[in-house]
Amino acid sequence: MLEIADLHVRYATAEAVRGVSLGAEPGRVTLVLGANGAGKTSTLRAAAGLVPVHAGHVRLEGRDITRRAPHKVVRDGMVLVPEGRRVFAPLTVEENLVLGGYTASRDRSRQVLARVYEMFPILRERRGGPAGLLSGGEQQMLAFGRALMSSPRVILLDEPSMGLAPTMVESVLGAVRDMADAGIAVLLVEQNADMGMEVADSVVAMARGEVVFAGAAAEARSNASVLRAFLGEAALVG
């Protein structure tokens, strides 16, 4: 379980995150919504040790991991899938996956690889081909698969549906739900609020570096007008 408490992130020119508290629980998808510049990415990156935490705490399964080095955070069981997928295009699909399992032994890595292929059969089909030839949606599945190779208990996803065709968005978000149903705690940053809410258990909305709404997804859905007021019209289509 992930617990972010009163987190502050500062860059040279601005305070991007100002006292954010939120969490993620096993088997559940927590959706983080917010307009451009709200501080969503900064929150995820600070939790993963990729940008400095100015103040506040990050706890993973009760242990304080605030300011831990990123590779140690991975070893502790939490992994971030950054925006933009970033697969290694010339390497094969399988080589990309094996890179994600660098923290595990060879045997363990084989076992986890088999599970990732069960979850994403398309990756097994394409395992010998270059990752660069996968479609955008398939590359996102590969980015998920690579993250799963470290056997995370918490996974942080930064806008996985970005730039994908609507049908692909649906299958990517379906995969997000599958990861939670496999028992992982998922923190999902998603621009497509309506589609995100379909797979989410709870919703946190951020504006200008602060949490402005937190509640069950059902409540957020019925409160769409409240969210719209916080996030602006563009955040909710339909």
Ligand X SMILES: Nc1ncnc2c1ncn2[C@@H]1O[C@H](COP(=O)(O)OP(=O)(O)OP(=O)(O)O)[C@@H](O)[C@H]1O
Residue 163 contacts ligand X per CB under 6 A? no
Task: Work out whether 41 is an interface residue with ligand X (CB under 6 A).
Answer: yes
CB 129 within 8 A of CB 93: yes
DSSP state of 132: G
Residue 145 sits at φ, ψ, to 5 deg, of -60, -45
Q: Looking at this protein, which amino acid is placed at residue 39?
A: G
Q: Closest approach of Cβ 126 to ligand X, in Å?
A: 29
Q: Is 16 in the site for ligand X (CB under 6 A)?
A: yes
6 residue type, one letter: D
Residues 180-204 as b or e (16 or more Cβ within 10 Å = b)? beeebbbbbbbbbbebbbbbbbbbb
- Binding residues for ligand X, rule CB under 6 A, total 12
Query: Would you state the structure tokens that stand for residue 16, as one six-digit string?
Result: 């991007």
Q: Is 167 in the site for ligand X (CB under 6 A)?
A: no
Q: Other CB atoms closer than 10 Å to residue 166's CB: what's the count?
A: 9
Q: Which does 37 bind (CB under 5 to 8 A by kind): ligand X, Mg ion, none?
A: ligand X
**Is residue 33 at the binding interface for ligand X, with CB under 6 A as the rule?**
no
* Choice between 39 and 49, CB closer to Mg ion: 39
Query: What is the C-alpha to C-alpha distance for residues 39 and 18, in angstroms, rounded to an integer?
Result: 9
105 touches ligand X by CB under 6 A: no
Smallest separation, CB 109 to ligand X (Å)? 32
The first and second tokens of residue 185, run together, are: 């705690």
41 or 151, CB closer to Mg ion?
41
In three-state secondary structure terms, 95 is: helix
Q: Does 96 bind Mg ion (CB under 5 A)?
A: no
- Chain positions 64 to 103 lying near ligand X, rule: CB under 6 A, are none
- Span of 40-48, 121-129, 161-169, 212-220 interacting with Mg ion by CB under 5 A: 40-48
**Residue 202 binds what, of Mg ion, ligand X, none (CB under 5 to 8 Å, by partner type)?**
none
- Contact set with ligand X (CB under 6 A): 11, 13-14, 16, 34, 36-42
